[in-house]
Amino acid sequence: MNSARESHEPVLVDEILFWLQCKPGGVYVDCTLGYAGLATRILERTAPNGMLLGIDRDAAALSESRLRLQDVLSRVHLRHANFSELKAVVADSGWSQVDGVIFDLGVSSPQLDRPERGFSFREDGPLDMRMDQREGRTAADLVRDLPESELADLIYQLGEERYSRRIARAIVQARTQRVIRTTWELAAVVERAVPASYRHGRIHCATRTFQALRISVNRELDVLEPALRDAVDLLVPGGRVCAVSFHSLEDRIVKHTFRAMANGPEASVAVLTKKPVIASEDERHHNPRSRSAKLRVVERIAKESLS
């Protein structure tokens, strides 16, 4: 059986390495370490003395990454944290500035592939969805507790789901009969709620509802803009932030945050990617996860050019 780190293939790796301009002796932060696929390549490029700080909310991912990086652990700091804590974690590692920061947003393949994590309805599992299992509310808690109007708004806003009101109504009706505890139970409720034609679309009819619950459980959008700004603050002049997003809500935040930091007399960065970088046709073919990926990059402006 393949390990989790073999089942997860990071996206846009060559493009990130190109824009990041890794150099020997540089200091880089991977805010979403995952299974260290990208981190491994960065450490190769920055040998013999480059350093990498890897942050992840998922203890299982960090454990796998520690094994994968065991030959280069002298050049690696691994931290179980949320990237909302970026500045504190960097300071704890003994650095005041870094040469580059990477955000690879969204959920990883191993998280989706493990039924006990509750991210996917491909197999039945507890309706959990927490990236950091030390944290509080699960998706099952939201499905059980939220009023119908809040549930509908959440599914509409975070899932961009057109049938959000029908789905919320169906969830509230279903939970009066029995508690919705598993991924298959929720997917079945969604299937019954939407029109028959919608059940056979390009993506599964429960996909957007699951996305909305996952984003809400993990507060993914709440922490993104502050973390991007913190990352820029940490950069040396000429240092870069690379952010890969997988859906329009994330990409919009990245785009607007970068644009805001690049405009006006207080501009701190230059936007290097006027349009997002997308995966090549070859990558989209062999790694389907890359099809929705968008990479945006900014570079820290030297202090003297800010005046």
* Single pTM value for the model: 0.91
Residues 151 and 229 in one domain: no
The answer on 226 and 211 residing in a single domain is no
Strand partners, 16: none
Show which of 190, 218, 246 is a domain's final residue: 218
Q: Which residues fall within 8 angstroms of residue 72, CB to CB, at 6 or more apart?
A: 43
Domain containing 188 equals 111-218
Pair 78, 142 in one domain: no
Is there a single domain that holds both residue 123 and residue 195? yes
The span from the CA of 8 to the CA of 117, in Å, is: 16
Can you give the CATH number for the domain in which 283 is found?
3.40.50.150
Q: What is the pLDDT of residue 113?
A: 77
Are residues 98 and 239 both part of a single domain?
A: yes
- Give which of 108, 39, 25, 24 is closest to 76, Cα–Cα: 39
Query: What is d(CA 201, CA 74) in angstroms, rounded to the nearest whole number?
Result: 49
Is-contact 34 61, C-beta < 8 A? yes
What pLDDT is stored for residue 303 in this prediction? 63
Which among 218, 239, 271 is the end of a domain? 218
Q: Residue 129 — φ and ψ, nearest 5°?
A: 75, 5
CATH number at residue 146: 1.10.150.170
Quick one: 86 and 11 in the same domain?
yes
Q: How many structural domains comprise the chain? A: 2
Specify whether 246 is located in the same domain as 165. Answer: no
Shared domain check, 118 and 93: no
Task: Assess whether 125 and 212 both reside in one domain.
Answer: yes
State the pLDDT at residue 305.
47
Domain termination site, one of 218, 253, 277:
218
Average pLDDT, the chain: 93
Residues 60-80: tens digit of each pLDDT: 999 999 999 999 999 999 999
